[in-house]
Structure 1
Amino acid sequence: MARFIKKKKKEIGLSPDELIFRGQKKADQVLLRIIDFDSENLTEEDVKTVKEISEFQYKNTVTWLNVDGLHNTSIMHEITSSFNLDSLAMAEVLNTEARPRIIEYDNCTLITAKMLRVDETTGKTLVENLSLILTKTVLFSFQEQKGDVFEPVRERIRKQKKRIRNGGTDYLTFALLDIVVDNYLYVISVLGEKIETLEENLLLNPNQNIINEINNYKRELNFLRKSIKPAKEMIFSLAKTDSDFITDSTYVHFKELEDNISQANDATDNYREILSDQLNIYHTTISSKLNDIMKFLTVFSVIFIPLTFIAGIYGTNFEYIPELTYKYSYFIMWIAMIIVAISMLLFFKKKKWF
């Protein structure tokens, strides 16, 4: 299955605001979880229907509605109509293959990004689409499947951390995006450790398996860059946007995200260069070994050329050869051959040819 771009033929020509799920089903059922809070009060519960949560939009509190699973379009229709959201925004939510970006609408702001995690069994990097719809009092987060990646944010709300409990939906948006970017750094660090270990093995034992690993890591890095680079553009745009739903005090935190996402982006570029250097080191090492082998074979051949000459003269098929009647001729030939071989080896060593 293609990991970089996916497009179904039946989606071509559809209206941009048509609520059709464009992606891979990753959850059996859609789960709705709501957290409603202010500085003093907290309500947290799992709900069955959208009707149960529509009243929260009229309260003077911060409401966070998390939706796990996007395949049930009827629920998405209910959310859109109950909260008077722009259908274009919800259509973007249902398109899980869309590029990370920020889009402003009349009554909401849409933010999309890719969440990354490492599969513990295969070691591959998995991606999940995250969509946030920001309004004045309600923040909607849409995930493709249930996960606990945002549990630290929920714990901060439960423990009455002042900054998040006194902040609005904009600060809550920052907290979620901060988790996403931190996971970028973690995934890159896991892959980076493998790449750095590979460099040690490359110097000790270069072989074809090393080349296969380098190519695998290059593919994984390219896959990371596909998500991280657009996310960097989105966060830089978010820090500069003039939105009615973001207060001036929260823009400072979005600036912090710029530093973190830049660090993640730079790390992928650095490791990409390291892999290219490792590939060059591999080819250089193999060429050096081949040169050593050729040098040895050359020295070996050069030594045996005069020995072959001497043996050729000794075996010349003529009837009258003076040395044939001398009983020590055979031993004299061997002594001469040994002296020639040793002399040539000493000469090569003096010239530092081996």
Structure 2
Amino acid sequence: MQLSIIGYDPSGAWMRQAGTMEELLGYRSSGGITWINVNGLKDCGEALSRLSETYGVHPLTLEDILNTEHRPKVEEFDDYIFITFKLIKANSERRIEIEQVSIILTKDTVITFQESHGPFFEPIRRRILGNVGRIRKMGSDYLAYAIMDSVIDGYFVALDDIGTKIEDFEDRAILDNDASFIPDLQDMKQLLLKIRRIVWPLRENLSSLQRMETPLVNENLDPFLKDLYDNVLQAAETVETYRELLSGVLEVNMSAVSNRMNSVMKVLTIISTIFIPITFIVGVYGMNFSNMPELDYPYAYYVTWGVMFVIVIGMIVYFKRKKWI
């Protein structure tokens, strides 16, 4: 578990790292906005209990924070608003990773909880410490918005990577020697379904946050929340588009497999058709009747071969005229 705290106001900002929750809480200042970040949720139950005592966090909220499989939601309490949602990112190996992020928003404090270690919020820290943009002039609700906006912007980066993989699937759909195509396609469909379950509830949660009548969210934040809602809606529509594209890719693959099978069956049928009259001739002259007139003819063997050869050539020419081959 890594603990950090940032304090700021329009005139300045500072940041501290802490080894324990007691040390971190000792850095709190009475003025300005405070941002506490808990990075990593393993073996941190005692630290979170100490934090909840200080800020009056309900035990059920702590359970939701520690339950990393929880679906996105927004809850309003007397002294704070609790927001939990998912972070979606592509790692260095182009694999999509999903982790939970939780936010507790109070009047002058924002507490964030990341499921695993990572510098995902580093750009926001640089904006605060470098006094870039409007963040140091706004309240704690704007900081919570900035954190959510950073996470949702990451959705589009991950979705762009997924879009590139879907383009690869389109190229692979017509190959006949790609044994891993179907398993990879199914994995991608499962991933998109998981992302859909993340994005769609968040859309409803942002709508609920906009409608909340609470002093913790200033009405000046409404345009920013509206923009956030539009971004989530766009991400949700992109997920649906990708799911439809994958269904189309699967249909293309099934059509390609069917066409290859039809081609194979066509060749086999033509070969069988050609051999039917030849087999008939061989069968007739393989009956070994003593009174068959051609048996005593000295050139019967060669004539039989000639007749079979002429039949084969004639059938091939006929098939080509009919454009069957």
TM over 0.5: yes
Q: Does 1:309 align with 2:280?
A: yes
Tell me the alpha carbon deviations over residues 22-52 of structure 1, each in whole angstroms, 9 at most, x when there is no partner. Answer: xxxxxxxx33211111111112112344465
**Once the 2 structures are TM-superposed, how far is the Cα of residue 57 of structure 1 from its aligned partner?**
6.2
Please tell me whether the aligned partners of residues 21 and 51 of structure 2 are also in contact (alpha carbons under 8 angstroms).
no
Q: Does 1:126 align with 2:90?
A: no
**Once the 2 structures are TM-superposed, how far is the Cα of residue 313 of structure 1 from its aligned partner?**
3.4
Distance 1:230 1:206 in 2: 40
Distance 2:232 2:110 in 1: 22
**Once the 2 structures are TM-superposed, how far is the Cα of residue 240 of structure 1 from its aligned partner?**
2.9
Match of 2:78 among 106, 127, 139: 106
Please tell me whether the aligned partners of residues 67 and 142 of structure 1 are also in contact (alpha carbons under 8 angstroms).
yes
**Once the 2 structures are TM-superposed, how far is the Cα of residue 87 of structure 1 from its aligned partner?**
4.1
Aligned to 2:251: 280
Q: Does 1:79 align with 2:43?
A: no
Q: Does 1:159 align with 2:140?
A: no
**Once the 2 structures are TM-superposed, how far is the Cα of residue 288 of structure 1 from its aligned partner?**
1.7
Tell me the alpha carbon deviations over residues 80-125 of structure 1, each in whole angstroms, 9 at most, x when there is no partner. Answer: 222334444334323333221110111111111111233445x543
Please tell me whether the aligned partners of residues 6 and 34 of structure 2 are also in contact (alpha carbons under 8 angstroms).
yes
TM-score by length of 1: 0.83
Segment drifting more, 302-311 vs 223-232: 223-232
**Once the 2 structures are TM-superposed, how far is the Cα of residue 162 of structure 1 from its aligned partner?**
3.6
Percent of aligned pairs with the same residue?
34
Tell me the alpha carbon deviations over residues 213-255 of structure 1, each in whole angstroms, 9 at most, x when there is no partner. Answer: 1112122222222322222222232233222111122111111
Q: How many residues align?
A: 323
Change (3 A) 1:251 1:329: same
Distance 2:136 2:188 in 1: 41
**Once the 2 structures are TM-superposed, how far is the Cα of residue 208 of structure 1 from its aligned partner?**
3.0
Change (3 A) 1:336 1:35: same
In the TM superposition, what are the counterparts of 1:176-255 in structure 2 within 5 Å? 176-205=147-176, 207-255=178-226
Residue type at the aligned position of 2:277:
P
Please tell me whether the aligned partners of residues 86 and 107 of structure 1 are also in contact (alpha carbons under 8 angstroms).
no
Aligned to 2:306: 335
Match of 1:319 among 268, 290, 293: 290
Change (3 A) 1:253 1:315: same
Please tell me whether the aligned partners of residues 5 and 24 of structure 2 are also in contact (alpha carbons under 8 angstroms).
no
Q: Does 1:138 align with 2:106?
A: no
List runs of 5+ in structure 1 lacking aligned partners: 1-29
Residue type at the aligned position of 1:104:
E
TM-score by length of 2: 0.90
Residue type at the aligned position of 1:138:
T
Distance 2:281 2:2 in 1: 91
Distance 2:310 2:106 in 1: 94
Please tell me whether the aligned partners of residues 89 and 96 of structure 2 are also in contact (alpha carbons under 8 angstroms).
yes
Distance 1:88 1:288 in 2: 57
Change (3 A) 1:319 1:220: same
List runs of 5+ in structure 2 lacking aligned partners: none
Aligned to 2:238: 267
Aligned residues: CA RMSD: 2.3
**Once the 2 structures are TM-superposed, how far is the Cα of residue 172 of structure 1 from its aligned partner?**
0.8
